[in-house]
Chain A
């Protein structure tokens, strides 16, 4: 149980590193108005959407990449990326049996819950494979409840008025560099609409996967919960292993009207690069929820274990009076991974409440930063925030940083921030060992204790998966 043993323990190979060999329809590399027109044409999009994209693109041209995150990476050549990649389907798919066997094997390796038993467990899965939604299960049952759950391309085709009404209302085209890029080139993603008074009858789940080596992934997710509606949504991600870095710049927009509640959970396990820091996904994502109605509620729960670089701040804009925003996060970094993640809670309405629980785990030579903004506007009388940011270090070569920003413009607001840093030390591990418990199990027990408060927020079966994932990430070749 020397420090080398500890080192081995945290060097766990990536288990989802395989490439699926299906023919893909890939657009030539490069980004221009022509590329955007091509994407829009390939997808048979209406004129307004093309305009939306072009407007975003023009914004983007005038913007510069943000330099403030606490992450380091070589400059990205946006002309060296292919912006469209679709597996070539031979024909329309009616059921899972018709899905490309190669693709199904991929899903099996990933453990995507597509099987009948899994579906019986009440999981509706919308699978995004590279950029096109391949299959959607349980659409029918959802339709009976009036819930729309489909790819955003289908939504554009079948429910254009809804998409047009909400797209870009939470994250405008010019919001930030990567959001503008996404707005210009997004190729697919999920759309979810829960009508007034409906409690979505099952957990909704989407698996994202980047497969083609040179393609960027730009999904767009839009979830709208009307008055009194409720939905719990889970997004899981994995990506195969390549030496080059890939860009993932997604945008997720959530809208909750009066008394509506949206729970959005993410388990992110993109490829993180090898132990020397080669390869891996750049995960630059904009996620934002708008608590538009009074007494609405949006909860973000994220478990971030992958990506070479993560730059992500799921946020809540608390516009409606008495609305509630929550952010529960576990971010694990190992080897040379870098994560700059956190949240923004923007209190606009009266008596709005927010709660931030962030747990950062750093191992290897990784760097893990929490960056959070709590902003209380002048009209947000009675606003309350509680933030708890805990960091856990494994070994001596990693780093943990906390950057809390607090801006309060209303005297009646109460904002609390607590932070702790702890370390899994030799003495703790020795204590476990002296009771018969080996290093690996000790670390996993300590980590599980550390993340408990966040994991209890995840839907049961995903909490089990996430626990296994953390175990895998930290497990190694300790004899």
Chain B
């Protein structure tokens, strides 16, 4: 395990959130410290992506209770783009296609915007080209993807690689990767996991949303959380993932119902 400076980067307390008037998150507590890797697992529809999007500030989701501190400050006081500039990164489960905008120009604008916000130097197109090629190399990505429109016509796995590329470029403090492993072939999984591991840093935290324990063989988590029905119903270490692999979720869901009653009472 890596050394950690142990600072709390993300502190979620009693977070509830709705979408289209329906409450999806029903009270989430989560503390993420620098240097840690957290895995969030849980059945389909349990609210994992919702949590990720609420944190990143998707306008369709409304936080209705609780609070979130990002490096000690109120996260919800920041607009979505300000959260990104402050160092919060979301790798999308379903990356969005942007026809007509080249990946190269998109990546460069994102990079320069974030650099400027950090008071660091921006790169001109030529300098950026060198910089991005090196990052793509690490992810075994063909540079031809630079000239294509953002995610347009990318295969499922290619889109996920492009998400990890963006994380590598933006160097966030907290990276939430929503099912970045889904859709990757076996070799790609190894390469992408390698890329994520290279991003591990004492000052950075990574939150992996995943359905597969396989990913956690490559990227070893410090904590594994299980979400069900809009709550974190169990937190453990990496052995919890193994247990889920063999036992499924049912045994935890029973507990969830009980917990639900307890909270309601």
Contact = CB atoms under 8 A, between A and B. Distances in A.
Interface of A: 1-2, 422, 426-428, 430-439, 441, 445-446, 448-450, 452, 479
B170 interface: yes
- Most B Cβ at <10 Å: residue of A431, A438, A448, A479: A431
B101 A433 contact: no
A350 B129 CA distance: 47
A449 B80 contact: no
18 contacts: A1-B57, A1-B80, A426-B59, A427-B96, A428-B98, A430-B58, A430-B80, A430-B96, A433-B57, A433-B79, A433-B81, A434-B56, A434-B81, A434-B84, A436-B117, A436-B170, A437-B81, A448-B101
A450 B101 CA distance: 8
Interface residues of B, number: 31
- Most A Cβ at <10 Å: residue of B81, B98, B110, B170: B81
B154 to A, nearest CB: 13
A422 B81 contact: no
B106 A438 contact: no
B109 A441 contact: yes
B178 to A, nearest CB: 11
A422 B58 CA distance: 21
Given A449-B101, A449-B102, A433 B80 contact: yes
Contacts of A437: 81, 109-110, 113
Contacts of B102: 449
Interface of B: 56-60, 79-81, 83-85, 89-90, 92, 95-96, 98-102, 105-106, 109-110, 113-114, 117, 149, 166, 170
Contact of A445 (B79, B90, B106): B106
Given A434-B84, A434-B90, A446 B59 contact: no
A479 to B, nearest CB: 8
Q: A-B pairs with the 6 shortest C-beta distances?
A: A449-B100, A433-B80, A435-B110, A436-B84, A449-B101, A431-B96
Contacts of A433: 57, 79-81, 84
Contact of B110 (A1, A436, A439): A436
A438 B81 CA distance: 6
Given A445-B105, A446-B101, A450-B100, 9 more contacts: A430-B96, A431-B92, A434-B80, A434-B81, A434-B90, A435-B166, A435-B170, A441-B113, A448-B101
Contacts, number: 81
A436 B56 CA distance: 11
Contacts of B84: 433-436
Nearest to B114: A436
B85 A436 contact: yes
- Most A Cβ at <10 Å: residue of B84, B89, B101, B170: B101
Given A1-B80, A433-B81, A428 B110 contact: no
Nearest to A422: B99
B59 A2 contact: yes
Contact of B101 (A2, A434, A438, A445): A445
